[in-house]
Amino acid sequence: MLALLSLLSLLPVALTLPLLGFEHARFLGLGDSTDDNSATDTPTALDLASVNATFLKPALFARVAYCSSASITSWSCGAPCQALKNITFLQSGGDEGAIPLYYIAHDGTDNSLVVAHEGTDPKKLLSILNDAQFGLVALNSSRFPDSVGQNITVHDGFQQTFERTADGLLAGVMSGLASTGATKVFVTGHSLGAALATMTGALIKTNVPSSVPVEITGFGLPRGGNEEWANFLDTIGVNFMSNQNDPVPTVPPKFLGFQHSSGEAHIIDPSTPNIVSCPGQDNENCATGNSLLDISIPNHLGPYFNGLSFGGSQCDD
């Protein structure tokens, strides 16, 4: 009986390991959650009104980023575009290949600029995350003068990807603010797009006048840097959502020196919905406390809340 039970409990791993590849599972780092820089405070329930207030708009724009560049430019990507009214497309960059797509748009309903980054499929992301050549490297502090002397390191692969579009993206935001008179900036993304959103959001925050609020939001966000980077992001403010047993928010693992910022909202059950706000960094009661036995790649895509999922399948092309 005991043997049967342990076999059954291994079943989810047996089903997901072929997807991830053993080299990935080895680095998942699940179960290494208990250390002294993981928060343990009890999460608090979030009602749907506050989830909507923080996450709905960023989720809808991040979903559009999975559609083709041409259909985003003309704002005709089908349901994901139709869910957002009064939008003026301003700029896109990247190539939908090695350099992930991003776009900048003006939202007339609240006079804001939105920067949204495309993600990548979870298997590709896990291979970037676990690629041995991508360890922690020094943050390019010439882009972040406030970070000098703070010993900040970030994921090499994320920073290299960020660097490929940083100049054009920042120029687009600055000229977009000037041409539209927008009073606020939202930066958002899912998956790899969420990791890029934390870096471009910090870059934008560093460069816009302090009177312009910058809201950075991520979905299925992997860890992007060390504890000093997490603390730096905390001074700017990041909100991110982790869904049930998605393995992506638990990689790269803490034992390799990676740490999440604060600001996690964790989905326990998307249907009710049962979503909690997780105090501190890497709260053990949220994604960081997940067990290797329960990982679910489908949870990375969704649904998150209001039936919202990510990936290109909802786009017209």
Query: What is the contact surface with ligand NAG in residues (CB under 6 A)?
Result: 48-49, 52, 56, 86, 108-109, 136, 140, 142-143, 151, 153, 163, 226, 257, 306
Give me the least distance between CB of 225 and ligand NAG, in Å please.
8
Distance from C-alpha of 138 to C-alpha of 129, rounded to nearest angstrom: 17
Closer to ligand NAG at the Cβ: 182 or 315? 182
State the residue number with the nearest CB to ligand NAG: 108
Nearer to ligand NAG, 95 or 163 (CB): 163
Please list the residues that pair with 45 across neighbouring strands. 276
- Shortest CB 80 distance to ligand NAG, Å: 14
CB of 85 to ligand NAG, least distance (A): 7
Complex with ligand NAG: residue 215 or 297, whichever CB lies closer: 215
Query: Least distance from C-beta 66 to ligand NAG, angstroms?
Result: 19
Residue closer to ligand NAG, measured from CB, 86 or 313: 86
Q: Which is nearer to ligand NAG, 18 or 181 (CB)?
A: 181
CA 244/CA 199 separation, integer angstroms: 25
Q: How many CA atoms lie within 13 A of 139 on its CB side?
A: 28
In angstroms, what is the minimal distance from the CB of 19 to ligand NAG?
Answer: 31
Q: How far is the CB of 165 from ligand NAG (least distance, A)?
A: 12
Token pair for 37: 């820089």
Nearer to ligand NAG, 76 or 109 (CB): 109
Q: Is 18 exposed, middle or buried (0-12, 13-18, 19+ CB in 10 A)?
A: exposed
Determine the Cα–Cα distance for residues 64 and 71; give it in Å rounded to an integer: 9
- 270-275: long-range contacts at Cβ-Cβ below 8 A with a sequence spacing of 24 or more? 270/243, 270/244, 270/302, 270/303, 270/304, 270/305, 273/48, 273/51, 273/305, 274/45, 275/45, 275/46, 275/51, 275/241, 275/305
